A = this chain, B = another copy of it.
Amino acid sequence: MKKIMDEKDYGIVAALHKGAKTPFRKISKRVHMSESAVRKRVKRLEHLGVIERYTIIVNPSKLGYDTMAVVGLDVSPEKHEEVIEKLANLEEVKKLSTSTGKFMIMSTVWAHDNKELTDIILRKIGGIEGVKKTHPSIILERRIKDVC
């Protein structure tokens, strides 16, 4: 893969990751470029797909979600894709990945409380055809770090 980014691009991405509303003027100082050059590069990074989306980080507990769990799933291999699609349609499933290891599907579930979590795991996830086993772990504390 040929390098599509130079050091200045990394600096811009890091700045926007830390704060997507950081004024270009401030970023331009950090990377020693003109404001308009920063603007052009951001456009290019968006165009290249390096920047996929502008978003917000929300505090789950302030939204009323007091229980977050990572649920490993044992799925009949031939149903893997169908299960992934159905999980993606569940509003309570916030993240999904296929990975190596004991559970090839890992999903992140947000629930208002343990009762709701149980219901989501057993009825909503467990009710999907092809799901053979659900293995939940509760997230006790989490920390998201800066990219780059």
- Residues of chain A touching chain B, judged by Cβ–Cβ distance below 8 Å, are 1, 3-5, 10, 13, 16-21, 48-59, 62-64, 66, 69-70, 74, 76-78, 80-81, 84, 88, 93-102, 104, 106, 110, 114-115, 117-118, 121-122, 125-127, 131-145, 147-148
Provide the bound-state CA to CA distance between A121 and B101, in Å.
12
State how many copies of this chain the complex holds.
8
Are A55 and B55 neighbours in the complex by a CB distance under 8 Å?
Answer: yes
Q: Which residues of B contact A59 (CB under 8 A)?
A: 49-52
Question: How distant is A64 from chain B, measured CB to nearest CB, in Å?
Answer: 7
Are A122 and B19 neighbours in the complex by a CB distance under 8 Å?
Answer: no
Between A and B, 8 residue pairs with Cβ closer than 8 Å are A5-B63, A51-B57, A52-B57, A52-B58, A94-B145, A98-B139, A100-B137, A104-B134
Point out which of A18, A94, A100 has the most chain B C-beta atoms below 10 A from its C-beta: A100
Contact residues of A: prevailing secondary structure: mixed
Provide the bound-state CA to CA distance between A139 and B98, in Å.
6
Apart from A51-B59, A99-B138, A101-B137, 10 more pairs, CB < 8 Å = A1-B64, A13-B63, A50-B62, A54-B55, A54-B57, A76-B132, A77-B133, A94-B144, A96-B143, A96-B145
